[in-house]
Structure 1
Amino acid sequence: MKVDSLLLRELLFMEPLVRYQLLNGVITNEISISELVCFDSNVASKDVNKAARKDVQLAEKSMLVLELDNSSLLDTIDTLKQESMHRNILEDNIKALCLLHENNIAIPEIVYQAIKQVHIPVIFLEKLTFEQLLSYYQFAKQLKESGMLLEYIRASNNYLYSLLNKHGISYLWSFLEQTIQQSIFLFNSRLEPLALTDSMVDEIAAKKEEWTELRSAFQMYKGTKQEHIELTAKSAATGKTKNWKLLNIEIDMQQGYVGILEENGQLQAVDVAHVQRALPLIVAELLKQREITETKKSYKQSFLYDLLHNNLEEASDLVISQGKLWDWDLTKPYQLLLIEFSRQNITKLNHEEYKHTQLLIKNLLASSFKVAIVEELNGQIVVMYSDSIGIAKVRKQRKESALAIAETIQEKIRNVFPESKVTVGIGRFYPTTDDLCRAYQEAKTAVELSKYMPDVHIMHFEDLGVMRLLTNIRNEQLEDFFKEYLEELLMFDEENNTNFLQSLNVYFTENGNLKAAAKKLYVHTNTLRYRLKKAEEILKVDLQKPGDFVNLYVASLIHNLNQNK
């Protein structure tokens, strides 16, 4: 297919022309160029029309090219001031002006002043001659005719790579936004905006409502692997719509998006191709930042591990100063909670899910506590908060407060990850950070033992009762105790294909409530009474006697613990 003209951006996004400087005006996606015309300063007349006619008749949609050198600067300035130049601009003959120089030069102020009088885009390219520019123009037209121009642009990112190495990701991001004159954002798989640079933080915060509207429009596309997705998000407040194009990226098997917001005119295919060639560089930068974050996280986790396992031998003031590296105030006492996730045999969340969960909990605690620590450790999330009520707060009040906070956290997490089981263990409150190791071990014990209690997903260590004593007894002693009181019943069940031991366990789990236990076993109350009576006969005990009841209850707990290990 024959091509008569190029969009100016199609030409300028070619390597190495993409390093152009825009000295004046705006390169809109409507500006197209049908030919390049070189102004010849050697022609006696300085009239633009006559100068152009030496080679080519000045046609509509031309880009006038001026080659700069020290001897022709005054000629250039005269050209920029000519009435014929401005007439051609008004008649739509000249769409853009390009200044070239074979070397690196600083454009004199006098040229800048003359440029301001020209109401079209003025472009400056170094280390380039008119012949070279013309060859790039012709090559671009050939690529467009063959349908390969966009593919060529996507594949050529040498200049962007040099920008990233020299100036960093923030500069590259600004360059992309300036060259396509649209805003660009980075999103995770749930279309939550990510701040790749410090400058993005405030902008993301200012568009909070927009992200909600965008996620709402995104629901039907969630999880798709399309190269790009086009969305229209409508504001509930104003009724205005905004168009987005989401470009799919993948980081460590996790999906994400680079989103382009159409704010200044319709997005052209060449603009998308220009951003797409930066995607490998953006992914590489994300991986690099993640590696740095993981290194810092590893150091932080090592410190947290040592703190919670009482492995720190340094003086307390040194420990406190280390905590300050992450804004942890270790001069205060903390209430400690431990959160564990499980879903479809996968116990750990992925990197983004952990980050999202930690942020969710931090935001939740921020409204009530000035000091809160939320960190991932060994596949669980450690939550520590310190209130202003003081150590004198009564134990019962602290326990009730901790249980209420755990319930709120659990509910919030379930709303985000409805398919996950969330278990929260709570340690006792201690007045110094030296005892955080005790609180942590208690919270761990609460998480582990709650697994053996049906429908219990929040457990305070104090509510474990006798079970917390069992965890401090050697396994051999526990096994001996079980054999002494329940092994005979277990052997009877195995030999006779009965389930008396299970019935006894459920009876204890339901705190001796016959009706509740029978319902759980899907049997009639009388059936359960019969089973319990048979168990009493086999074991030669009486469940109405406190001593026998306690011994069998403890043996039942030991059996449950062993069964679930």
Structure 2
Amino acid sequence: MKLLLQDVLFTIPLYQLTFLTPLPKENTYFETISTTIPDQWFERPTLLLLDNDEECLKLSNKNVVNQLIQDSNLIGILLCHQHEILIQEDCFLLLRECKVPLVIAEEPLSTSELLEVKKQHHTFSRLSIELNGFMNKGIMKIAENLSAALETPFLFLDENNQLLWQIGSEEEIEKVLQWLQNAGHDKRKTTNPHTTLPEQNSVMRVDEPYEPYIMNIAGQVQLTLVTLANLKEWQRIILDKFIGLSALVFQTEEIIRAQREQMKEHFIYDLLYRKFESKKVLIKQARTWGWDLEKPHHLFVIDVALSDEWMMNLEWMDEIIVFLENHLSDLNDEIILFPFQDQIVVLLKDDENRNPSSRKSFVFEKAAMMEKELSSHWPGCQFHIGIGKWCQDSVNLNKSYQEAKMALQFGKVWLENDHVFHINDLGIFNLIMHLHKEILYDFCEEYLPSLIESDDKLGTEYLKTLKAYFQYQGNVNEVSEALYIHPNTLRNRLKKIEDMTGLYLHNNVDFLNLMVAVKIHYSMSF
């Protein structure tokens, strides 16, 4: 009974095969299998199946190899070994030059299994094993091996016909690229993505030197693999197997990546909005993404006001994160960056023994350095950073996040000339702003209604005047300069405010109440 060497190879998972020499293009038949190298020539077409060290070592004997390459009945050598097989270089070159098929299979095979190949040819029962093997070994490593076996270059193109990866000699690659540029750029468009490789092959013109094959990934992404044209049917079948498994790997990896991203998003949300009941669980989950949250951390939030030009850039946040990672390489082990709700959250490790003042100075300096680097690189954008309190225990990072957001929100209102704000800079307002919004609204209504009404109807800018007055601590010259008005105009306006509210700015209690009301008003409006 005649059997095909190619049929034998089809029954072995592709990831388990290593082709040490190219495979013959024509069908290669054998009638018997030998598990030993005889002293004389084979009597019938024979596949040599070697599965022990003693027989494999004979391939490093030049006399044995000379005998094998002269034996017309030797159709190929299949080495079944799970560990590396070393063949003397001169013996290996002889086998290669004489085009003896030499293949390694990682798993042991029996003679009886190989004699039943026709019954197993198109089985899909091991698809899961094949897929797992592909993922573990790596698509590109398998592709390099298969390219050598089929003696064809492999070029992988994206949906825009841009080169992603290539395998082959520089001369071969250059020829394929020239073909793609001159005549092959539209080949992919005329190929039906739903046809099989043999069907795709039949629609190509026979005079074309190369053929593009579609790699359809879940019906959403199409890559193209370009090889030599006019491959034999068995070569196209093994190529079809490679493309199908590769597409499954890409699809599976994308699903896993998407699941990991979803898990990461849930973890970040819990980290910033909820308090973990167990620090152990928090630390363990954080390690999934290489984050060490066992140590104390600072947390700050970077807010970006994009320039008109950057509004169209959908990758702006990723670009900023990459920029910071590159420019903060000295802090790689101490800093964690991630996007969250159109802002960037930064966790900075700080387990040094510092007093509160020096700890604030430390984190403020790091944040200011980041803001300076970002503003210098993107001068058309505005960057503001809010810093929460230092967290000795990482389960409290949710609290620090809210503090950083608050520092950012109120700092942008009350410290307009600054870009970095620490929660401690809010002082007593850090306490006031934790009150219910209705209470704060009622407080403003008690002191500001006449001013708000006048500003809305007459454009008097009384609230803006008071805001500047409190910012510059009542310094008339600085306030008038900031408002671009004469000092006397400012004095008259302040007198009008006192008359309308019945409050006097030189009275400490009235000053404090009016200042709190104005700050609450602007903070709530913001």
TM-score w.r.t. length of structure 1: 0.54
Q: Cα 1:25–1:319, aligned 2, differ >3 Å: closer, same or farther?
A: closer
Q: Cα–Cα, structure 1 residues 428 and 108, in superposed 2: closer, same or farther, change >3 Å? A: closer
1:367 to 320, 323, 330: 330
Q: How does 1:19-418 map to 2 (within 5 A)?
A: 23=19, 66-70=28-32, 72-73=44-45, 81=69, 106=78, 116-119=94-97, 164=131, 167-168=134-135, 170-179=137-146, 227-229=160-162, 245=163, 258-260=164-166, 264-267=170-173, 268=176, 269=180, 270=210, 276-277=224-225, 284-298=251-265, 300-301=267-268, 304-305=271-272, 309-312=274-277, 314=278, 332-343=295-306, 367-368=330-331, 370-377=333-340, 380-390=343-353, 393-413=354-374
Q: 2:503 aligned with 1:538, yes or no?
A: no
User: Cα–Cα, structure 1 residues 401 and 348, in superposed 2: closer, same or farther, change >3 Å?
Assistant: farther
Alpha carbons 1:180, 1:271 under 8 Å: kept: no
Partner of 2:251, secondary structure, is helix
Secondary structure of 2:413's aligned partner: coil
Matched letter for residue 386 of structure 2? G
CA contact 1:115–1:122 (8 Å) conserved in 2: no
Cα distance in 1 for residues equivalent to 2:302 and 2:525: 23
Confirm or deny: 8 A CA contact 1:81 1:114 kept in the other structure. no
> Could you tell me whether the CA contact under 8 Å between 2:383 and 2:419 is conserved in 1?
yes
Equivalent residues, number: 393
User: Residues 357 and 349 (structure 1 numbering): CA distance in 2 closer, same or farther, change over 3 Å?
Assistant: farther
Equivalent AA in structure 1 for residue 461 of structure 2: N
The residue aligned with 1:499 is 461
More deviation, 459-468/499-508: 499-508
Query: In structure 2, do the counterparts of structure 1 residues 67 and 443 end up closer, same or farther at CA, with 3 Å as the change threshold?
Result: same
Shift, 1:475, TM fit? 2.5
Residue pair 1:333, 1:433 contacting (<8 A) in 2 also: yes
Partners of 1:329 and 1:117 lie apart in 2 by: 54
How far is 1:557 from its partner?
0.8
Determine if contact 2:276/2:282 at 8 Å carries over to the other structure.
no
Is 1:426 the counterpart of 2:391 in the alignment?
A: no
One-letter identity of the residue aligned with 1:476:
E
SS at the partner of 2:455?
Answer: helix
Cα shift readout 1:187-221 (whole Å, capped 9, x = no counterpart): xxxxxxxxxxxxxxxxxxxxxxxxxxxxxxxxxxx
- Superposition CA RMSD, Å: 5.3
Partners of 2:270 and 2:276 within 8 A in 1:
no
**In 2, Cα distance between equivalents of 1:386 and 1:437:** 16
Which whole-Å CA distance do the structure 2 matches of 1:446 and 1:410 have between them? 15
Amino acid at match of 1:410: E
- Deviation string 1:527-563 (CA, Å, 9 cap, x unpaired) is 4444334333433444344443333222211221232
Q: What SS does the corresponding residue of 1:228 show, helix, strand or coil?
A: coil
Gaps of 5+ in 1: 1-14, 28-35, 37-62, 86-97, 126-159, 187-224, 230-244, 246-257
Residue 513 of structure 1 deviates from its aligned partner by 4.7
Q: Tell me, yes or no, if the aligned pair for 2:504 and 2:510 is still in contact at 8 Å.
A: yes
| Helix, strand or coil at the partner of 2:275 | coil
Match of 2:184 in 1: none
Alpha-carbon spacing, 1:75–1:406, altered in 2? closer, same or farther (3 Å): closer
Kindly indicate whether the alpha-carbon contact (under 8 Å) linking 2:451 and 2:497 is maintained by their aligned counterparts in 1.
yes
- Identical counterparts, % of pairs: 24
Please give the alpha-carbon distance, in whole angstroms, between the structure 2 residues aligned to 1:415 and 1:260. Answer: 39
2:311, 2:267 → 1: CA distance?
19
Aligned counterparts of 1:120 and 1:513: Cα–Cα separation in 2: 96
Deviation at 1:81, TM superposition (A): 4.5
Q: Is the Cα contact below 8 Å between 2:444 and 2:517 reproduced in 1? A: yes
- Checking the alignment, whether the CA contact within 8 Å between 2:276 and 2:395 is kept in structure 1 is no
Deviation of the 1:350 alpha carbon: 10
Task: Give 1:337's aligned amino acid.
Answer: F
Whole-Å separation in 2 of the counterparts to 1:494 and 1:81 = 99
Partner of 2:470: 508
The answer to whether the aligner puts 1:559 opposite 2:485 as a matched pair is no
Please tell me whether the aligned partners of residues 22 and 99 of structure 2 are also in contact (alpha carbons under 8 angstroms). Answer: yes
Which residue does the alignment assign to 2:426? 464
Deviations 1:219-260 (A, max 9, x none): xxxxxx98134xxxxxxxxxxxxxxx3xxxxxxxxxxxx354
Structure 2: gaps spanning 5 or more residues: 1-9, 33-42, 49-64, 82-86, 104-126, 181-209, 215-222, 226-242
Deviation for aligned residue 1:426 = 1.2
Q: Deviations over 1:80-128 (max 9, x none)?
A: 8569x9xxxxxxxxxxxx969xxxx94799xx97983452766689xxx
SS in structure 1 at match of 2:449: helix
Which of 483, 508, 512 does residue 550 from structure 1 map onto? 512
Contact 1:24–1:120 under 8 Å retained in 2: no
Instruction: In structure 2, give the amino acid aligned to 1:409.
Output: M
Aligned-partner Cα distance in 1 for 2:299–2:356: 14
Judged with a 3 Å threshold, the aligned counterparts in structure 2 of structure 1 residues 381 and 261 are, in CA distance, closer, same or farther, namely: farther
2:206 is matched with: none
Cα distance in 2 between the residues matched to 1:458 and 1:283: 43
Q: CA deviation at 1:461?
A: 0.5
Q: Verify the 8 A CA contact 1:336 1:427 in the aligned structure 2.
A: yes
1:462 Cα deviation (Å)?
A: 0.8
CA contact (8 A) 1:22 1:123 kept: no
- The equivalent residue for 2:403 is 442
Equivalent residue for 1:479? 441
